[in-house]
Chain A
């Protein structure tokens, strides 16, 4: 299908509007992600993570996956990042730049990351350079469509997932409890878990 369609679609030199927006948002997202993993200020890292995750949500929207985009915003930006900020606070993370945010493995890590990026990008470009996504037809990721798919085809995994979440909840409570009498520090943690 794709091979047959490849010739009919425009090349990279004549981008559509959606493509231009996608690339621009993608660059912003990547930049935010890079700042997240390089900044010396821990709290800033969390905030830049919000930007990166939000950018990804926008990309979902551009890919017509509306429901996932809103779930992304809700769960990641809304709760995960808040949770991370709580974690930073509870571990008494310093406010302001901390010079030792990166470990001694930095250069190795950089090498591994660059090599893997090069490999993956090469592979992906090589494999999908002629593949075209048709976004013009009816939206594929509206809440209705996704909900139908989820509750028709994926009910059983969905329920299993709820059990997993419950188990994770219990596990988090057990782990963050310290001795029986002195639970003052663990309280907000469990509340946070329950909220999510």
Chain B
């Protein structure tokens, strides 16, 4: 088999994942796109391993490690997303803009999706969020 086939497929998958990372609004969808990119890389690793026929099977071993690390990454990533959702009431990436130039203050950008409750409730949850963080 031509090496070009898996390589091109991996490149296309990677670009697709790239588009998803850049274009999606929901943080979980962004995480999915990241998975796509990781899979593209894995595909490359496996294909090159098969092609090179190396004794240690470095490519396959690395692919396995990547899968494990990707699993860890998705766990941590989801935990962060959940935390953000809890404190901010949203998991939309383009609403999390506290670090922009001229932001009024840390809590000033609560979107319409903020959880019910008055300002005190919001600050208290923020505080608890900070404690857990």
Interface residues of A (CB under 8 A from B): 12, 16, 18-19, 22-23, 26, 29-30, 33-34, 36-37, 42, 45-46, 49, 52-53, 56, 59-60, 62-65, 67-68, 71-72, 75-76, 79-80, 83-84, 86-88, 90-93, 100-106, 108-110, 112-114, 116-117, 120-121, 124-125, 128-129, 131-135, 140-141, 145-146, 149-150, 152-154, 157-158, 161, 164-165, 168-169, 171-179, 185, 189, 193, 196
Q: Main SS of the interface on chain B? A: helix
- Residues of chain B contacted by A19 (CB below 8 angstroms): 1-2, 5
- A12 in contact with B32 given A60-B46, A168-B72, A172-B79 (CB within 8 Å): no
Residue of B nearest to A160 (CB): B65
Complex contact A149–B82 (CB within 8 A): no
CA distance A75 to B70 in the complex (A): 10
A-B contact pairs, 7 of them (CB 8 A): A19-B2, A29-B13, A34-B16, A56-B39, A101-B26, A157-B61, A164-B69
- A171 in contact with B1 given A37-B17, A101-B25 (CB within 8 Å): no
- Residues of chain B contacted by A62 (CB below 8 angstroms): 1
Complex contact B75–A196 (CB within 8 A): yes
Complex contact A100–B25 (CB within 8 A): yes
Residue of B nearest to A152 (CB): B56
CA distance A149 to B57 in the complex (A): 6
Known: A113-B16, A129-B2. 15 other contacts (CB 8 A): A19-B5, A26-B6, A37-B33, A37-B36, A72-B39, A87-B78, A88-B28, A103-B24, A103-B93, A140-B49, A140-B50, A141-B57, A165-B71, A176-B82, A179-B131
**In chain B between 67 and 83, which residues have their CB closer than 8 angstroms to a CB of chain A?**
67-76, 78-83
Complex contact A133–B2 (CB within 8 A): yes
CA distance A32 to B7 in the complex (A): 18
Complex contact B35–A76 (CB within 8 A): yes
Interface string of B72-98 (1 = CB under 8 A from A): 111110111111011000011110000
